Amino acid sequence: MYEEKYDGWRMVAYKNGSAVRLVSRNVVDHTERFRELASAIAALKAPTLILDGEVCVFDKQLVSQFHLLGGAEPSELCTPPVFMAFDCLHVHGLDVRGLPLHRRRAILEQEVDDARVVFAARRLPDNLAAWAVVKERGYEGLVAKDDQSLYRGGPTRSWIKCKIRHEGRFILAGILGLPSTFAGILVGEQRGKRLIFRGTVEWGLGLRTANELLRRGRERSTSPFHDFRLSRGVTWLEPTLTVEVTYSEIMEGRLRDPVYRSIL
């Protein structure tokens, strides 16, 4: 079973009569923050219900965008927050976590049918056709699920996330944490005569690689970035080295989930 992977806030919705709670993975109650969603879930027919899902906001192409969930009024056309439910744990007084996923999915679709701002997660075609849809529509990725799987807490190989990754070349401008430790490399992009900060890359390299980058670069005393001036704990470099980085997206000018691959 293949579903769209959403870029939002993982949330469990608890409904007991008219009382609803929206609780995040780290056990923070967000009911007041998403009162419209809580009201819509309270209006569902089942007297008791527990749904696992994600609170999302979609852009004008109907692609979920994490940055649109911020507190400020978005400057671009987008949906209000919606609850994309992808599993049902409890319904009508019954614990259904021991049922296979395909049966829980059928229950879920029935319970949220015709609901307002509450939807079942978007199903995708099977196998490679699912990945083709993800790439064509610009989704963040997909989740492949064993339709016989039971609902269990914690990591599982029954649900596999596959995310779209991008590759890019960025200018190395500084190293955080040298000489005895390593906390990341600072990278940017050239825009005309200005070097624009794109973020800190922490994954894919360690102290040994950082020292090799330092050996190949030339130190300088100040930041080469036009828009980033942090000084403590940074070894600044002349912007002469280029590194290859993979990332999920550039969000508000910063790399998201960047991973170092190589120096070019």
Residue by residue, DSSP assigns 37-59 as HHHHHHTSS-SEEEEEEEEE-BB
CATH topology of domain 166-263: OB fold (Dihydrolipoamide Acetyltransferase, E2P) (2.40.50)
Residues 68/78, Cβ–Cβ less than 8 Å: yes
pLDDT of residue 107: 97
Q: Enumerate residues 6+ apart whose C-beta is below 8 A from 28.
A: none
What are 106's two structure tokens? 């059928």
- Which residue do the tokens 């922490």 mark? 202
CATH topology of domain 7-122: D-amino Acid Aminotransferase; Chain A, domain 1 (3.30.470)
For the chain, give every residue range classified as CATH 3.30.470.30. 7-122
Q: Which portions of the chain are predicted below pLDDT 70?
A: 71-73, 231
pLDDT of residue 182: 87
pLDDT of residue 169: 96
pLDDT of residue 72: 64
Q: Is 178 exposed, middle or buried (0-12, 13-18, 19+ CB in 10 A)?
A: middle
CA dist 87 and 132 (Å) reads 24
CA dist 57 and 199 (Å) reads 24
pLDDT of residue 181: 83
Mean pLDDT, rounded, of the chain: 92
pLDDT digits (tens, 9 = 90+) for 67-107: 888 766 677 889 999 999 999 999 999 999 999 999 999 99
Predicted TM-score (pTM) of the model is 0.75
For the chain, give every residue range classified as CATH 2.40.50.140. 166-263
Whether 163 sits among the annotated catalytic residues: the reply is: no
Give me the catalytic one of 5, 45, 161, 193.
5
